[in-house]
């Protein structure tokens, strides 16, 4: 059987750091309020770089860390809800920027679960033998969709990108199992980038709202109920002992939500990696940024087995059991 | 019902259940923020098999009990 082994990671975040105190100068909030409710202290915002720029920088780092030649890359998948253009896809722009002329490139949209969904798709191409390797990136410049007058949302999000290279192997490693799901009925609980169906013959007065809007309670409810269920199903379906989970990388939305997930799963907090204090919620980028940071800091090592779990707009969720 | 709701609220806010009465203000006296209230309501929903939507009305523990009673009927 073919498995998809994670052979390299990479990440790139814009260097403009915005603290909670900086945010309190433009919106009615303060450091204590933001920190106590979310665990977020800082976020990085684009200083002009768009999503394809930070995705391409991430791809370059993955290439650097792996030694793969750009011409040998089979697929590039970018998960994003903040692409530069509707078309071309961010993945195609990345392909051009890194010179991966032989790759198939396309985007995938599953918001904060996007990296997991992208990885799942890439894994299937590899498992079926169609391709031998794939670069999967989560990249977001969410700051362009923030309403800086809405203190309930603008303080929570940040910009950044992260990704991995996966390669075919006969060894039982990499992506071992997955559990994905969607609940479109609750889609309006978290929206962004609305584009009304207006044209030259059908001009209606629409207050098109491009900004991110979130029903806090609905999302809290979803995250604290659906994520533990998803991870339980993932582990129970493959009879994996919870105590053998070396690490959990949850989507970095909110520290308080992660604490509830930990409590419900009875997996101790010291196994959950969190860095939302530095980056805020970077949607599809949060899991690969965290994974890359853990690899760089030597927190995870070859042979470790852990869970990566994303949840967010759609609504969507996805959990994977991965061996490093 | 009050005793169980009191336990849930005490558990989430880290306070002593014995100190909580129907008149205790959840926000000012128990220092529950919006996320604490979300979790308290979720736990109550699971415990009593009810769906609670009107969180804005909650000030005291008595308000919570009242909302659960209303939604149960």
In this predicted model, what pLDDT tens digit does every residue of A243-256 receive, in sequence order? 999 999 999 999 99
What is the C-alpha separation between A271 and A252, in angstroms, rounded?
14
Catalytic, A281? Answer: yes
Instruction: With CB atoms and an 8 Å threshold, state whether A221 touches B42.
Output: yes
In sequence order, which residues have a C-beta less than 8 Å from that of residue A202 and are 6 or more positions away? none
Contact B39 A225 (CB under 8 A): no
Average pLDDT over residues A170-199: 94
The verdict on A69 touching B (C-beta cutoff 8 Å) is: no
Res A225: pLDDT: 93
Angle at B32 (CA atoms; ends B28, B38), nearest 5 degrees = 135
* CB contacts, 8 Å: B42 with chain A: 220-221, 224-225
A52: confidence class by pLDDT, cuts 50, 70, 90:
very high
More confident call, A117 vs B70: A117
Helix (H, G, I), strand (E, B) or coil at A25: coil
- Residue A209: pLDDT band by 50, 70, 90 thresholds? confident
Q: In this complex, do A220 and B38 lie within 8 Å of one another by their Cβ atoms?
A: yes
Residue B39 touches chain A, beta carbons under 8 Å:
yes
Nearest to A37 among B33, B39, B42 (CB): B33
- CB contact B27 to A (< 8 Å): no
What per-residue confidence (pLDDT) applies to A304?
A: 96
* DSSP letter, residue A147: -
Residues in chain A within 8 Å Cβ distance of B55: 217
* Tens of pLDDT, residues A255-310: 999 999 999 999 999 999 999 999 999 999 999 999 999 999 999 999 999 999 99
CA-nearest residue to A215 within chain B is B38
More confident residue, A210 or A60: A60
The first and second tokens of residue A112, run together, are 């904060």
Cα–Cα distance for residue pair A316/A304, rounded to 1 Å: 27
Structure tokens at B72: 């149960």
Cβ contact (<8 Å) for A224 and B35?
no
Domain parsing of chain A, residue ranges: 3-170, 176-196+203-323
User: How far apart are the C-alpha atoms of A77 and A63, rounded to whole Å?
Assistant: 15
Q: What ipTM is given for this predicted complex?
A: 0.83
Alpha helix ranges (H) inside B1-73: 2-13, 34-48, 61-72
Question: What residues does A44 pair with on adjacent strands?
Answer: A17
Query: Going by CATH, does the domain composed of A176-196+203-323 fall within 1.10.530.10?
Result: no
A225 in contact with B at a CB cutoff of 8 Å?
yes
Give residue B69's pLDDT band: very low, low, confident or very high (50, 70, 90): confident
Residue of A22, A16, A302 lying closest to A155 (CA atoms) = A22
Give chain B's largest Cα–Cα span. Answer: 30
Q: Which of A66, A70, A80 is nearest to A101 (CA)?
A: A70
Structure tokens at A219: 């999302």
The CATH superfamily holding the domain A3-170 is Thiolase/Chalcone synthase (3.40.47.10)
What is the 8-class DSSP label of residue A12? E
- The yes-or-no verdict on residue A169 having pLDDT over 90 is yes
CB under 8 Å to A88, separation ≥6 — which residues? Answer: none
Strand partners, A313: none
Task: Please name the residue of chain A whose CA is at the shortest distance from the CA of residue B45.
Answer: A221
Residues of A in contact with B34 (CB under 8 A): 37, 216-217
Say whether A176-196+203-323 and A3-170 share the same fold. yes
B34 and A260 within 8 Å at the Cβ level: the answer is no
Instruction: State the best of A220, A223, A258 to mutate against chain B, taking most chain B CBs within 10 Å.
Output: A220
Q: Which of B33, B38, B42 sits opposite A36 (nearest CB)?
A: B33
Which residues make Cβ contacts (< 8 Å) with residue A303, sequence separation at least 6?
A323, A324
Q: Looking at residues A169-190, what average pLDDT do you find?
A: 96
- Dihedral sign of CA atoms A69, A70, A76, A78 in order: positive
Residues from chain A contacting residue B33 (CB–CB below 8 Å): 36-37
Residue A130 makes CB contacts below 8 A (sequence gap 6+) with none
Instruction: State whether residue B35 sits within 8 Å of chain A by CB.
Output: yes
């Amino acid at each position: 059987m073919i498995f998809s082994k994670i052979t390299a990671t990479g990440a790139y975040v814009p260097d403009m750091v915005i603290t909670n105190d900086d945010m309190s100068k433009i919106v009615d909030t303060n450091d204590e309020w933001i920190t106590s409710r979310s665990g977020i202290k800082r976020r990085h915002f684009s200083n002009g770089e768009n999503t394809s720029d930070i995705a391409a920088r991430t791809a370059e780092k993955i290439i650097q860390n792996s030694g793969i030649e750009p011409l040998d890359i089979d697929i590039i998948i970018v998960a994003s809800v903040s692409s530069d253009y509707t078309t071309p896809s961010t993945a195609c722009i990345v392909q051009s920027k890194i010179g991966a002329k032989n790759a198939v490139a396309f985007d995938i949209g599953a918001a904060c679960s996007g990296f997991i969904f992208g990885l799942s798709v890439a894994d299937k191409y590899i498992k079926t033998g169609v391709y031998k390797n794939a670069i999967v990136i989560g990249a977001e410049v969410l700051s362009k969709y923030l309403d800086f007058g809405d203190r309930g949302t603008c303080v929570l999000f940040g910009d950044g990108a992260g990704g991995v290279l996966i390669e075919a192997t006969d060894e039982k490693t990499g992506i071992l199992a997955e559990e994905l799901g969607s609940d479109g009925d609750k889609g309006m609980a978290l929206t962004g980038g609305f584009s009304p169906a207006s044209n030259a013959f059908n001009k209606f007065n629409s207050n098109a709202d491009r900004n991110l809007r979130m029903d806090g309670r609905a999302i809290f409810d979803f995250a604290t109920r659906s994520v533990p269920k998803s991870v339980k199903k993932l582990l129970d379906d493959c009879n994996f002992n919870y105590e053998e989970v070396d690490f959990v990388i949850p989507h970095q939305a909110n520290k308080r939500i992660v604490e509830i997930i930990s409590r419900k799963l009875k997996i101790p907090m010291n196994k959950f990696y969190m860095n939302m204090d530095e980056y805020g919620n970077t949607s599809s980028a949060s899991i690969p940024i965290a994974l890359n940071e853990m690899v760089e800091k030597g927190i995870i090592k070859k042979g470790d087995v852990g869970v990566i779990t994303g949840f967010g707009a759609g609504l969507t969720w996805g959990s994977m059991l991965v061996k490093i | 019902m009050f005793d169980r709701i009191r336990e849930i609220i005490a558990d989430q806010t880290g306070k002593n259940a014995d100190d909580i009465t129907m008149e205790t203000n959840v926000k000012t006296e128990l220092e529950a923020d919006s996320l604490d209230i979300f979790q308290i309501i979720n736990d109550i929903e699971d415990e009593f098999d009810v769906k609670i939507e009107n969180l804005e009305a909650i000030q005291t523990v008595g308000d919570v009990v009242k909302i659960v009673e209303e939604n149960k009927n």
